[in-house]
């Protein structure tokens, strides 16, 4: 269980002064839960995820995993970023086995473990390829296999599918759903894609813009495996869009002044896009 209690995070600005990125956020994520964070660019999603990862330090508040402080990185939490960050000089197999080698696991055993994870993301035929020989989707699947090989309790995913085309993204959704159902990892997932958040998550948290707080949360109770045509998903997506639209409107007003309204101009029909509405 991840417990985030009264977390605030400020950054020093180059121009002097401080900037509050996250303001007094409290949140509990149950073991095995899949939670997504949605919110306008710059609202503090990555900052919050990095705090849980132990990559950033909060001046105020506390984050614990099963009661243990997580202000430094630990093997119980692995991050998957938008850019796959595979080592280009290693094959898929060696990339996935890399962390296991660091752990001191022998060659035969770590290769067996790595092959098992590679199989779980359906990449067995490409185990001996180098990253530059893979498609974007394959690279991201390799990155997920590498994270899973460490067998962390928690996967922290920061827009892992944002750079992929829509068809590949849909395949990766199915794979991640299957992995989550099989392993019951706790997943904190950041996305700008409302449909992606709804289709994957138990709970979707919408963050408000500057300073970042949790504005509203939506439970998604649809059966798994999820059916993209489930009206319940569509309904939740529409509700989330409404809450987000208010936040986006604030961002637009801040940046462009009162003469432009995003809500009136573009947002009203976005959620009917079958590929998912993005923000
Ligand atoms: N190291 C840093 N120093 C100063 N400001 C920072 C730093 N990291 C983040 N910020 C600021 O904190 C705010 C939150 O950033 P963060 O990256 O968490 O946003 P985000 O919600 O992940 O945005 P996006 O959707 O664009 O990825 C932003 O205004 C950003 O400029
Ligand atoms: Mg971010």
Question: Which tens digits make up the pLDDT trace of 149-164?
Answer: 999 999 999 999 999 9
Average pLDDT over residues 201-208: 97
Instruction: Check residue 121 and give left, alpha or beta (phi > 0: left; psi -120 to 50: alpha).
Output: alpha
Task: Looking at the CA of 42, name the nearest ligand.
Answer: 1
How far apart CA 241 and CA 243 sit, in angstroms, is 6
Report which of 65, 103, 90 is spatially closest to residue 143, judged by C-alpha positions. Answer: 90
pTM: 0.92
Q: How many CB atoms lie within 10 A of CB 38?
A: 29
For a pocket test of ligand 1, which of 45, 193, 209 has the largest count of ligand atoms closer than 8 A to its C-beta?
Answer: 45
- Residue with structure tokens 């707080």? 213
Contact between 271 and 241 under an 8 Å Cβ cutoff? The reply is yes
Is the separation of the CB atoms in 147 and 80 below 8 Å? Answer: yes
Query: Atom 1, ligand 1: which residue's CA is nearest?
Result: 11
> Distances in Å between the alpha carbon of 59 and those of 7, 19, 51, 56, 211?
8, 12, 11, 10, 15
Give per-residue pLDDT as tens, 161-203.
999 999 999 999 999 999 999 999 999 999 999 999 999 999 9
Q: Name the residue of 44, 81, 191, 196 to mutate for ligand 1: max ligand atoms within 8 A of Cβ.
A: 44
What's the mean pLDDT when you consider all of the chain?
91
Q: Mean pLDDT over residues 213-220, rounded? A: 96
Q: Give helix 166-183 / helix 136-149 axis angle, nearest 10°.
A: 20
Q: Give the start-end residues of each E strand in the chain.
A: 2-12, 18-29, 34-38, 60-65, 68-69, 77-80, 154-158, 186-190, 203-207, 214-219
Q: Whose CA is nearest to atom 27 of ligand 1?
A: 41
Each residue's pLDDT tens digit, 97-117: 999 999 999 999 999 999 999
**What band does 260 get if pLDDT is binned at 50, 70 and 90?**
confident
């Amino acid at each position: 269980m991840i417990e985030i209690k009264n977390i605030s995070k400020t950054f020093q600005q180059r121009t002097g002064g401080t900037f509050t990125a996250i303001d007094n956020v409290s949140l509990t994520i149950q073991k095995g839960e899949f939670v997504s964070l949605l919110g306008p660019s710059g609202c503090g999603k990555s900052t919050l995820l990095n705090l849980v990862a132990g990559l950033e330090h909060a001046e105020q508040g506390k984050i614990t995993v099963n009661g243990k402080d997580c202000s430094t990185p630990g093997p119980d939490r692995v991050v998957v970023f938008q850019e796959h960050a595979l080592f280009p000089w290693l094959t898929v197999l060696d990339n996935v086995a890399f962390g296991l080698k660091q752990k001191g696991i022998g060659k035969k055993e770590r290769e067996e473990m790595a092959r098992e994870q590679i199989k779980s993301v359906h990449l067995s035929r490409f185990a001996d390829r180098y990253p530059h020989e893979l498609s974007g989707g394959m690279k991201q699947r390799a990155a997920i296999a590498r994270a899973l090989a460490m067998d962390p309790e928690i996967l922290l995913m920061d827009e892992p599918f944002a750079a992929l085309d829509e068809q590949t993204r849909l395949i990766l959704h199915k794979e991640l759903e299957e992995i989550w159902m099989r392993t019951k990892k706790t997943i904190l997932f950041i996305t700008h894609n409302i449909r992606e958040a709804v289709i994957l998550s138990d709970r979707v948290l919408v963050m408000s813009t500057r300073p970042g707080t949790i504005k509203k949360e939506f439970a998604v109770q649809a059966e798994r495996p999820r059916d993209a045509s489930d009206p319940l998903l569509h309904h939740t997506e529409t509700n989330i869009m409404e809450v987000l639209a208010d936040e986006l409107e604030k961002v637009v007003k801040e940046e462009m002044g009162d003469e432009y309204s995003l809500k009136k101009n573009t947002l009203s029909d976005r959620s009917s896009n079958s590929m998912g509405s993005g923000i």
